[in-house]
Amino acid sequence: MKKSIKFLTGFCLSFLLMKDTLLLAGVPLARTRRNQVRCELSGRLISPGDKRLQAGSLVCDGEKIEVLNGGRIKFFCFSTGEILDLSSGVVSSDICAKSDLSKSACYTGNGDFCSRTPKGRAEGNDEPTIIYPYVMPTLKPRPEIVWLSVTSATSYKVRFDCYDFSWERVINQTRLAYPSEEKPLASGQTCQILVFAYKEDKITGGNPSVISLLPQNEVAQIKDAVNQISKLKLPPDEAALDFDAIFMSRDLLDETIEQLNNVVSVGTKNPTVYRVLGDRYFQAGVLDQAKRQYLKASELVKTSNNLTELRKVQEGLKLVDYYNQLPTSR
């Protein structure tokens, strides 16, 4: 009798465990954070419809997406910043096209990547160096202008030249908000920014910076992609990294640095955020800020046991040190 009871008890427990396992197996997984997977990421599911993964889940390169009931799935590609409409198949490099980094003016894929002059040396400048806007394309029709100070300079002149209008201002600070009374940039318009420093009886000028407002149709596409990611209610650090993929598909360094800094300012402990922010400052030529972010990422990554991220951080630090040793004369 006792043996029968024990047998029935064991059978019931086994059945319940098997039942729970089957129920759990039918529940789609939600892996929204990059530290939840150890693979080369291809992108993120934007809409529900996969048998195994919930909307918002990360997908590895080459991983199969199983669409329910012949439906469709929206999928966000990290490599291109685009949102694809998929019916079925395998998410791989064939579906998410790899971005051609060799065509970019500045990227951190190798040591000989950047023709832009490093802007990280804030001490002892003999000429004003524009550090914001970082690169040519922007979403802002009235961008702020920031430059490095010049030793012993008493004031600065900022000149903004476009095809159909221009303006200038003289101030004694190193940043200037776009004057509200001046005409803003138009869609697709390219303009030139120049900053001159007044030093005793001399005036010196640095290299001009060129800025361009993206065409309206591209701005609309970017805003739509950002809106779809925002609706997923991801953790702030994950959302910022996804926004980075969207912005960097158009070389929008201004926007992605701003988003990543918003997450850093609230004290995130995600080393990837600091490392990517370091990459973006490096691409902008602001080496002192790049090194600061890499060092913070290096400190945090030691507790995460993420060897891939550690390697990327170390590569970033080596590149910063290499460019800091280059001659500053032109």
| Residue 292: pLDDT over 70 | yes
| Residue 7: pLDDT over 90 | no
At 131 the pLDDT is 84
| Residue 317: pLDDT over 90 | yes
At 119 the pLDDT is 57
pTM of the model: 0.80
* Alpha carbon of residue 284 to chain centroid: 12
> Which tens digits make up the pLDDT trace of 103-136?
444 444 444 444 444 554 444 567 888 888 877 7
| CA–CA distance, 51 with 215 (Å, rounded to integer) | 39
Kindly report the length of the chain. 330
> Domain 216-324, what architecture?
Alpha Horseshoe (1.25)
| Residue 21: pLDDT over 80 | no
Which helix (H) or strand (E) segment holds residue 44: the answer is: strand 41-45
At 69 the pLDDT is 67
> Which tens digits make up the pLDDT trace of 198-240?
987 788 887 888 999 999 999 999 999 999 999 999 999 999 9
CATH class of 130-213: mainly beta
At 111 the pLDDT is 41
DSSP3 helix / strand / coil % (the chain, rounded to 5): 35, 20, 45
Based on its alpha-carbon atoms, the radius of gyration of the chain, rounded to whole angstroms, reads: 25
> Which tens digits make up the pLDDT trace of 159-195?
999 999 999 999 999 999 999 999 999 998 899 999 9
Going from N- to C-terminal start, the domains of the chain cover: 25-99, 130-213, 216-324
Q: Which residues of 55-83 are buried (b: 16+ CB within 10 A; e: fewer)?
A: bbbbbbbebebeeeeeeebbbbbbbbbbb
| Residue 11: pLDDT over 60 | no
At 96 the pLDDT is 84
Domains 130-213 and 216-324 share a fold: no
| Helices (runs of H) and strands (runs of E) counted in the chain | 7, 15
Summarize the confidence of residues 315-328 as an average pLDDT.
Answer: 84
